[in-house]
Amino acid sequence: MFRALAVLRVVVLGYTVVVNVYRNNYDRPVLGWSCVAIMVVATFVLIAVYAAPERRGPALLVVDLALAVAMLLATPVAKGPWFHATIPSYWIVGALLAWAVRWGWRGGTTAAVLLGAVDLLTRSHVEQKDWGNVFLLLLGGSMVGFVCESLKAMAAERDEAQREAAAAAERARLARVVHDGVLQVLALVQRRGGELGGEAADLGRLAGEQEQVLRTLIRSQAAAPAPVGASTADLAVALGVLGARPGTEVALPAGVVPLPREVVSELVAVVRACLDNVDRHVGDGAPAWVLLEDLGDAVEVSVRDDGSGIPEGRLEAAAAQGRLGVAESIRGRVHDLGGTATLDSGSYGTEWTLRVPR
């Protein structure tokens, strides 16, 4: 902003010098030309001093404005009380805009009021064009100040956003490195533990569970930037947690699978019920597989075990006794979500397919 102002200063200086040479109507030429010389020197000194941001303090701005005021005050002395145009002419906008850039609309307006007042008070007669010029000073000072303030606020917001994004990316990178290291060790403990057997095997199993938990955590963090608001949740992350059950493999698509929060918790509860059933009928920690598919207009979750299947007639027997079996409960809960639950059972095992429309 101050760089653009530097260019403007040179332009208005050029105009001022040309106008003064053209008019050359001083009562006291020595004083008048000294003023012009001061302005030439001051312009370049000011540009040089303003170039460094740390020097743009109140002192510099006050000096800048004081110089402009001094030039205005020198005018009646050099030109006599009946002058038309001030010596500095448009040169004073340099100081005005410096104030506007530095202190916003308040700075711009203050400088404009001061310069305008000095200009009007030094004249022995005020013409309509002088009022017009002062009005322009006020308008320019306040508007440029206002715009500068907005621009600065926007730049600050943008910088803040960029800083936050960079910090988040760095945090994510560090987390990946740390997590990867921990996962490597957990996986190794799990593997060697299993090979050694005995107590080491228990340690290995614990490591495996923790590995699963950490993996789920990483996934939920990676999914955080996705549009998952308060009313929706990620079914993939929620199902991933179920991998903590021994022998369970949860297969998920890449990315998030957003669904209403209550649908997610109900579906997870149903899948958990299916897995409990595996524990009960096939054996504690018997192998089970959970697959989630995002079909666009619906989601499909399948839960499979490789047990010996449900003996024929058992479900019917349960119904005949008036008992609401687990199977009926699963069907009912999925039905309440507007979906369907189908059961496939045979010598190859049992598989539930839960399909819920979006």
Partner 1 sequence: MTDRIRVMVVDDHPMWRDAVERDLQAAGYDVVAVAATGTEAINRFRATRPQVVVLDLQIPEPSGVEVTATVLADEPSSRVLILSASGEQDDVLAAVKAGATGYIVKSASREELLAAVRRVARGDTVFTPGLAALVLGEFRRINEPETPPGEKLTDRETEILKMVAKGWEYKQIAERLVISHRTVQNHVQNTLRKLQMHNRVELTRYAIEQGLDEDEDG
Q: Which residues bind partner 1 (CB under 8 A)?
A: 176, 179-181, 183-184, 186-188, 190-192, 194-195, 208, 211, 215, 218, 222, 249-255, 287, 289, 291-296, 302, 304, 306, 348, 351
Query: CB of 349: closest distance to partner 1 in angstroms?
Result: 9
Comparing CB distances to partner 1, the nearer of 36 and 223 is 223
Query: CB of 207: closest distance to partner 1 in angstroms?
Result: 9
Comparing CB distances to partner 1, the nearer of 5 and 259 is 259
Q: Which of 282, 265, 253 is nearest to 351 (CA)?
A: 282
Query: CB of 137: closest distance to partner 1 in angstroms?
Result: 47
Query: CB of 187: closest distance to partner 1 in angstroms?
Result: 4
Comparing CB distances to partner 1, the nearer of 13 and 257 is 257
Query: CB of 190: closest distance to partner 1 in angstroms?
Result: 5
Which two three-digit tokens encode residue 36? Answer: 């012009």
- Give the Å distances, CA to CA, from 228 to 15, 52, 261, 313: 60, 46, 10, 44
Query: CB of 21: closest distance to partner 1 in angstroms?
Result: 49
Comparing CB distances to partner 1, the nearer of 266 and 351 is 351
Query: CB of 214: closest distance to partner 1 in angstroms?
Result: 9
How far apart (Å, rounded) are the C-alpha atoms in residues 224 and 255? Answer: 11
How far apart (Å, rounded) are the C-alpha atoms in residues 259 and 137? Answer: 59
Q: Which of 78, 186, 191, 97 is nearest to 145 (CA)?
A: 97
Comparing CB distances to partner 1, the nearer of 56 and 205 is 205
Comparing CB distances to partner 1, the nearer of 98 and 292 is 292
How far apart (Å, rounded) are the C-alpha atoms in residues 90 and 137? Answer: 10
Comparing CB distances to partner 1, the nearer of 17 and 183 is 183
Comparing CB distances to partner 1, the nearer of 60 and 206 is 206
Give the phi and the psi of residue 349 in degrees, each rounded to 5.
125, -170
Query: CB of 301: closest distance to partner 1 in angstroms?
Result: 11
Chain Cα centroid distance, residue 258: 22
How far apart (Å, rounded) are the C-alpha atoms in residues 271 and 346? Answer: 20
Q: What sign has the CA pseudo-torsion 347, 282, 269, 206? A: negative
Comparing CB distances to partner 1, the nearer of 65 and 290 is 290
Query: CB of 213: closest distance to partner 1 in angstroms?
Result: 13
How far apart (Å, rounded) are the C-alpha atoms in residues 66 and 60? Answer: 10
